[in-house]
Structure 1
Amino acid sequence: MELRPYQIEAKNSIFEEWDKGVNKTLLVLPTGCGKTIVFAKVTEDCVRRGDRVLILAHRGELLDQAADKIKTATGLGCATEKAEETCLGSWYRITVGSVQTLMREKRLGQFPSDYFKTIIIDEAHHCISDSYQRVLQHFPDAKVLGVTATPDRGDMRNLGEYFDSLAYEYTLPKAIKSGYLSPIKALTLPLKIDMSGVGIQAGDFKAGDIGTALDPYLHSIADEMAKYCKNRKTVVFLPLVKTSQKFRDILCSKGFQAAEVNGESQNRAEILADFDAGKYNVLCNSMLLTEGWDCPSVDCIVVLRPTKVRSLYSQMVGRGTRLCPGKDHLLLLDFLWMTERHELCHPADLICTDEEVSKQMTANLEDAGCPIDLEEAEKTAAEDVVAQREEALAKQLAEMKRRKKKLVDPLQFEMSIQAEDLAGYVPAFGWEMAPPSDKQKATLEKLGIMPDEIDNAGKATKLLDRLDKRRQEGLTTPKQIRFLENRGFQHVGTWSFEAAKSMIDRIAASGWHTPRGINPQEYVPGKE
């Protein structure tokens, strides 16, 4: 089985991390981008190196999928560690294991601490739980790969507490642009659903409370769906089984061919097969289909289980992002969830890494009134935010001028050198979140950057690296940027050091006035 270019990069990056001694690393691939194939190929190479490999997951379907994909992609068979099945005594070098089984003290105690040399965790956003940690701590020297579609968790315990690095990340926008996933169009519907009485449990909204809050709106939601979903293959996610069953009945009464599946459904496989074959055009479920189920022809997702957890939201939407003949985009229906106290996930959270852009995009989608392509919406929102930042920067620069500060504000520096990665930087791992060290702050101040505005070590490190790289490339210093931009010159951060020095020398020779014939607003070095 041939890997795609990004899958090859991902596999190589994982081994690079392990080979340099980083034993706990993450792989982030969007749903539908073949994460199982990647870790199947990683597993194959580990076996070639003589390792025993454990594939760890929390659901039987994921274990079965992993074993099937490994067999298809590599020809290697897998032993199973689940319920009464055990890998002990097997000649297979690969084991697919249930965390619920392995976490038991008696079961775990049968394995020497060095039995598995490599552990791969499918759906790694679950791995901080006590059950996973008990298994992982039993094999302390194993190389660990966590594989997930989204690297955050609802209880806000950052995966950086366990993993030491992010080996590789392939984003949803990249996958869509490269043609590996379906484009997404989001439509925010005007229906206002009151969530103010819904409580929080384990970092997310209580399912029971959501069901109660949602109940009065189910008929109105079905009416809205009738406008957009009649000719689509739709999956609806709901908070409770009884809510899911009730909504199925409402949809059927309005002319849909709707079915419902849940954990107790005796004919679940038959219903899923019939939905895949087109017998039903809507499938309702209570969070059953978030992982381990694929139906590429799904072209509409309705999330009626609002959540604060981006990984869960991405899993739900991911049921519709796969490519399929005749499918030109996925329609994602969003609602105006009214909540006074808590932020919840919106379509913007699927592609935005910058919180400001995400909020602006959500506001823009609410005002649009028609389906909008997510990439176009993100671009527009980013432009809006840049305009707002530039306006704020202008006010900030005016204030700085009045205060006659000698140092450059980090925001001014980032905007001047057009460094979007610095402006939108969010720390991911534990050390990055720590405050900047005294040495970092002293060095930044010496180089002309105001350190008071930098609140974490990761941002300080990135700034220092960027300053060193700019020095090597002969670009302007922060002090040159401050001096010239305070005199009205634009984007001095893109100038060379020598061009800035030349202009400052000319200003000095003119009695610290702008030389005659120079318009700072329009001046570009070398184009006089």
Structure 2
Amino acid sequence: MANFDYNQLLNKNINNHDNTVVSELYGSLLNGYMNQKTVINNDQLGPRLLNNQEGSLIWEQIKHELLTCDSYTFAVAFITDPMISNLKPIFKDLSQKGVRGRILTSTYLYFNRPVVFQELLKLPNVEVKIADVDGFHQKGYIFQHQGYQTIIIGSANLTTNALMRNYEWSLQINSLDGGDIVDQVSSNVESEWNNATGLTRQWIAKYENLYKKNKNKFILKPQTNHHEDESIIKPNQMQKDAIKQLRLLRKEGKQRGLIISATGTGKTYLGAFDVKAAKPKKMLFLAHREQILKKSRDSFYKVIGGQKENYGLYTGNSRDKDVKYVFATVQTLSKIEHLSLFDQDEFDYILIDEVHHVGAETYQRIMNYFHPKFYLGMTATPDRNDDFNVFKLFDYNIAYEIRLPKALEEDMLCPFHYVGISDYEFQDSQINQEIDQYNNETISQKNARQVVKYLSSKERVQYILEQTNYYGYSGDTLHGLIFCSGVSEATSLAKELTRQGYPSKALSGADSESKRSQVIDDLENGIIKYIVTVDIFNEGIDIPCINQVVFLRNTNSNIVYIQQLGRGLRKFEGKEYVEILDFIGNYKNNYIVPISLTDDSSYSKDSARETTNMEPTIGISTIYFERVAKEKIFASIRQAKFDSMHNLRTVYKEIKKRVGRIPLLQDFIRFNSIDPVILANKENNYANFLNKMGEDINISNYENKVLTFLNVELLNGKRRHELLLLELLTHHPEIKSQEFAKVLNENHCLSNPEVIDSVRRVLNLTFYSQNASPSRKDYGEQPIVTWDDQHKQYQLNLNIWNSIQKNDDFRTLWIDSIKTGLYRSKKYQPDKIFTIDKKYTRKDVMRLSNNSTNVTAQNIGGYYFNDKYGMIFVTYKKSENISKSIQYEDRFLSDRILHFYSKNNRKLTSKEVQKFFDGKYQLLLFMKKSDADNNKNFYYLGTCQYLESSAQQELRDGKPIVSMNLRLDQRVKYHLYHFLTD
């Protein structure tokens, strides 16, 4: 085939069309169908394979297309209720924008359950039809944009598995409205649509009868292995890991251990597996409710087996004392007359369920009486508001911790579909203001009583029910749980909900155990629709059938928020997901919502914004914020002081309570707490922070400056080379170069001469100038490490070596900082100078790009070139306060092409502009969304290339400036791209 100029073909065709989309599409077609190396200015509309693998979730792309289209049509054979639930908030937002949609589906193989069609009828601005054709098995999604269409077609039906979990193949293509592929697809769809039957309630009623008669003919029965006993319960991977850690605890001679495990993750089975492994002669299982004991006894029998007579209850109604496995209520066993019936060493294994209650006198009496070989405490909520320290009681031996996101990803819990909804707004602004004061706890008791009337008014409850009815629940019967702010509010809401046709009952901490049990039974049996409560369902109450959780309250604690959200996460037959509906008002603590949903303890405003904006999936759990709700959370994030000393002190005390000593920086990582870099940098170094916390840390002024260097420069772990060398020098003050080289090789680190020279400049402080901040003076002026070229060895500063030997405080903080930095370094690729999608400051970039000195931010501006690299820094959303001369309109043309501007007063012939073109320098692109909150961190997006012939000289305020297009070697990942550009 003869060679020809693709770009000439492109330009020729574009000249015939005055349309940006045409330009983009031609370039994308050339790149996608003819030669991927074609030099083009945009490939956003090119063909893509979506397969649910890294960075290509079909669900995410469909969500994006929906939110940006003018109209849409789905032609899909199979639809499931969970996926409709995920799409409901999007369809609702689209309806409010006037965007219409169509869904063409079928009754093929009777896969679609009647509830699916009932839920489809709820969708606003969506017309649904049933294809009148045998064997309808289409799987296509069509989105109409301005002048062109996007089509996603392939193997994926409108189901959670197909769009989020399975390894599918779906091809995304784009075509102008006049394109032949559009005509082929549209003609086919329109033909089927015109012959299809409209969805109505009457049609659903007829289908329900047919479904009942035919579903069993077509539903595939799962194949079972008849050689395997299905009654045998086996541990999942997380339970195996926990059992291993418990075994190690006992091997080390520890007599007590804690398991912290999110609600619904199988704590009882885990305890049974460990008892089976420990093989005690006699075991005691303690709980505070007989109902829990009966379920636990059955679970232990399933795991351990043996004779049922070996399993007995010791409660107010039963006295099975002489069995091998005793399941006892604390209330009964704690009485002296019952305790005295047992020998103090009768049990060699005691397991305490919901161990956070152990501070009560009844529990203490039992624990003080018995002396088993091993105590195991299990809880989902070890952090208590009282002063009792559960961790201390169990000798700070936390064997294992299963956190919520990991449990969701491992499919241990029921997935949740979270929707942040804007709360009801009254027409009277004064009422709204009083409600805000009530929610933020800044209102008098007298006015609070009036606010309760507003919150339980006919109008607001009607609004709440409109939302709960639309978003629905999984299963045949509603089992709802509502959290509100006060007892009187709960009572009033329950009455109004009942009046409007949703039987509800209120529960509070003042209610008796018998009343609680009765109300729970009423909910489980479908007698009532909702339990309205304040705080008693944070933990310990097990109602697996809950399929809708509603938040009508301010959130003051992410721990409490997760506890309450977790009430619906236990798996239950017929429940495929739990609907979480969060009515978001003008709460000062709204920022807690995104932090809690992702279990993010970084105390980073940037991370909270990312979650709110990106709405990430966790396993197959989804997050969506309606527009107004999202704005309220952003407002809360702006006003919040994440790293205030008050917040940091609270976090510090929590970890100190867990470890029973002055916490190390490593402890904050171990317990998934705050990023230790925040603590260390709050007061320049962690020693200063500890002194602020009232600890007595004794270090000299020079030692303080050395720790400042270590904490400010290296603790982040963005390059592990310096940390590895300091770790070696901690044990021997002189280290040969070949030994350091060996360690670098073992850790897969880059070890070229440029990197080694950079490491030496950083550690001898010549990288830091005397004038810039930070300066050598800030770090003690003396080199931390020197290089002896004659003997080819590194030498640790003797003053530091002496401090390590003689000062316990300094040695502890020095070693802890190095170990913590090395742990954090696991986030970064050691064989690359930068890791894509990770954050770096300009100072980080200067160090890691092997620059000779730490060039200040003022001298860097939008880009900086050293001998090898061109480092480009883009703030996507420019501040309105900066000079107009530098408000360049840098913008993405696609997820891999950036339209970029040079510094002001530059021409095509300028030397620094020429550096972009000549190919001598490797261009590295760093980007941040904005300068909000003095944000200094840029995402590294990867290497990029100048696109040939794209540079143009322009005028800005009468001064020359150069624009050009840069093409990234790797596309920006979906979530990050939309976060940066939204």
Match of 1:354 in 2: 601
Q: Is the 8 A contact 1:27 1:146 kept in 2?
A: yes
Q: Secondary structure at the match of 2:544?
A: coil
CA–CA distance in structure 2, aligned partners of residues 279 and 36 of structure 1 = 29
CA–CA distance in structure 2, aligned partners of residues 442 and 101 of structure 1 = 61
Q: How does 1:423-442 map to 2 (within 5 A)?
A: 423=677, 435=695, 438=698
Q: Secondary structure at the match of 2:423?
A: strand
Q: For 1:247, which of 472, 485, 493 is the aligned residue?
A: 493
Q: Is the 8 A contact 1:57 1:121 kept in 2?
A: yes
CA–CA distance in structure 2, aligned partners of residues 6 and 98 of structure 1 = 28
Alpha carbon RMSD of aligned pairs, Å?
Answer: 5.6
Distance 1:312-1:62 versus aligned 2 partners, 3 A rule: farther
Match of 2:69 in 1: none
Scaled by the length of structure 2, the TM-score of the pair is: 0.38
The answer to whether the aligner puts 1:302 opposite 2:535 as a matched pair is: no
| Partner AA of 1:7 in structure 2 | Q
Q: Secondary structure at the match of 1:115?
A: coil
Q: How does 1:374-413 map to 2 (within 5 A)?
A: none
The answer to whether the aligner puts 1:31 opposite 2:263 as a matched pair is: yes
Distance 1:424-1:109 versus aligned 2 partners, 3 A rule: farther
Q: For 1:74, which of 295, 304, 318 is the aligned residue?
A: 304
CA–CA distance in structure 2, aligned partners of residues 287 and 504 of structure 1 = 55
Distance 1:210-1:60 versus aligned 2 partners, 3 A rule: farther
Match of 1:517 in 2: 867
Following superposition, the deviation at residue 155 of structure 1 comes to 2.0
**Higher deviation after alignment, 471-480 or 149-158:** 471-480
Q: Is the 8 A contact 1:258 1:282 kept in 2?
A: yes
Following superposition, the deviation at residue 335 of structure 1 comes to 4.1
The answer to whether the aligner puts 1:166 opposite 2:398 as a matched pair is: yes
| Partner AA of 1:468 in structure 2 | E
Distance 1:11-1:282 versus aligned 2 partners, 3 A rule: same
CA–CA distance in structure 2, aligned partners of residues 440 and 102 of structure 1 = 56
Q: How does 1:34-49 map to 2 (within 5 A)?
A: 34-46=266-278, 48=279
| Partner AA of 2:383 in structure 1 | D
CA–CA distance in structure 1, aligned partners of residues 525 and 332 of structure 2 = 35
Q: Secondary structure at the match of 1:150?
A: coil
The answer to whether the aligner puts 1:97 opposite 2:336 as a matched pair is: no
Following superposition, the deviation at residue 235 of structure 1 comes to 1.5
CA–CA distance in structure 2, aligned partners of residues 517 and 317 of structure 1 = 54
In structure 2, runs of 5+ residues without a counterpart are 1-232, 425-434, 626-632, 642-663, 681-685, 687-692, 714-721, 730-739, 750-755, 774-820, 834-845, 855-863, 873-920, 924-942, 944-982
Q: Deviations over 1:381-438 (max 9, x none)?
A: 99x99xx99xxxxxxxxxxxxxxxxxxxx99xx9xxxx995437899xxxxx995865
Match of 1:402 in 2: none
The answer to whether the aligner puts 1:314 opposite 2:558 as a matched pair is: no
CA–CA distance in structure 2, aligned partners of residues 505 and 8 of structure 1 = 47
Q: Is the 8 A contact 2:523 2:531 kept in 1?
A: yes
Q: Deviations over 1:87-131 (max 9, x none)?
A: 54x1x2222222223333443344333222222111122223333
Distance 1:268-1:504 versus aligned 2 partners, 3 A rule: closer
Q: Secondary structure at the match of 1:319?
A: helix
**Higher deviation after alignment, 124-133 or 287-296:** 287-296
Distance 1:248-1:479 versus aligned 2 partners, 3 A rule: farther
Match of 2:349 in 1: 118
Distance 1:503-1:424 versus aligned 2 partners, 3 A rule: closer
CA–CA distance in structure 2, aligned partners of residues 223 and 132 of structure 1 = 46
Q: For 1:217, which of 430, 455, 462 is the aligned residue?
A: 455
| Partner AA of 1:332 in structure 2 | L
Q: For 1:151, which of 382, 392, 395 is the aligned residue?
A: 382
Q: How does 1:164-203 map to 2 (within 5 A)?
A: 164-181=396-413, 182-191=415-424, 192-193=435-436, 194-195=438-439
Q: Secondary structure at the match of 1:54?
A: strand
Match of 1:395 in 2: none
Following superposition, the deviation at residue 36 of structure 1 comes to 1.1
| Partner AA of 1:319 in structure 2 | R
Q: Deviations over 1:56-92 (max 9, x none)?
A: 222222222222221233236433332364454x1x2
Match of 2:292 in 1: 62
Match of 1:399 in 2: none
Q: Deviations over 1:275-326 (max 9, x none)?
A: 4465654344565655343334x33212457675665543432221234656
Q: Secondary structure at the match of 1:14?
A: helix
The answer to whether the aligner puts 1:13 opposite 2:245 as a matched pair is: yes
| Partner AA of 1:36 in structure 2 | T
Q: For 1:330, which of 555, 558, 579 is the aligned residue?
A: 579
Q: Secondary structure at the match of 2:377?
A: strand
Q: Is the 8 A contact 1:211 1:239 kept in 2?
A: no
Q: Secondary structure at the match of 1:146?
A: strand
Q: How many corresponding residue pairs?
A: 456
Match of 1:131 in 2: 362
| Partner AA of 1:52 in structure 2 | K
Q: Secondary structure at the match of 1:517?
A: coil
Match of 2:61 in 1: none
Q: Is the 8 A contact 1:184 1:321 kept in 2?
A: no
Distance 1:364-1:118 versus aligned 2 partners, 3 A rule: same
Q: Secondary structure at the match of 1:229?
A: helix
CA–CA distance in structure 2, aligned partners of residues 364 and 279 of structure 1 = 38
Match of 1:226 in 2: 465
Q: Is the 8 A contact 1:348 1:358 kept in 2?
A: no
Q: Is the 8 A contact 1:57 1:122 kept in 2?
A: yes
Q: How does 1:467-506 map to 2 (within 5 A)?
A: 468=727, 472-473=743-744, 480=762, 484=767
Distance 1:329-1:261 versus aligned 2 partners, 3 A rule: closer
CA–CA distance in structure 1, aligned partners of residues 622 and 234 of structure 2 = 30
Following superposition, the deviation at residue 173 of structure 1 comes to 0.8
| Partner AA of 1:235 in structure 2 | L
CA–CA distance in structure 1, aligned partners of residues 382 and 575 of structure 2 = 32
Q: Secondary structure at the match of 1:356?
A: coil
| Partner AA of 1:167 in structure 2 | A
CA–CA distance in structure 2, aligned partners of residues 444 and 465 of structure 1 = 21
Scaled by the length of structure 1, the TM-score of the pair is: 0.66
CA–CA distance in structure 1, aligned partners of residues 712 and 624 of structure 2 = 36
Q: Secondary structure at the match of 1:294?
A: coil
CA–CA distance in structure 2, aligned partners of residues 464 and 56 of structure 1 = 47
Following superposition, the deviation at residue 168 of structure 1 comes to 0.9
CA–CA distance in structure 2, aligned partners of residues 436 and 364 of structure 1 = 39
The answer to whether the aligner puts 1:52 opposite 2:298 as a matched pair is: no
CA–CA distance in structure 2, aligned partners of residues 515 and 216 of structure 1 = 62
Following superposition, the deviation at residue 175 of structure 1 comes to 1.8
Match of 1:4 in 2: 236
| Partner AA of 1:356 in structure 2 | Y
Match of 2:121 in 1: none
| Partner AA of 1:226 in structure 2 | L
Q: Deviations over 1:217-246 (max 9, x none)?
A: 122552332132123332224577775454
Distance 1:439-1:135 versus aligned 2 partners, 3 A rule: farther
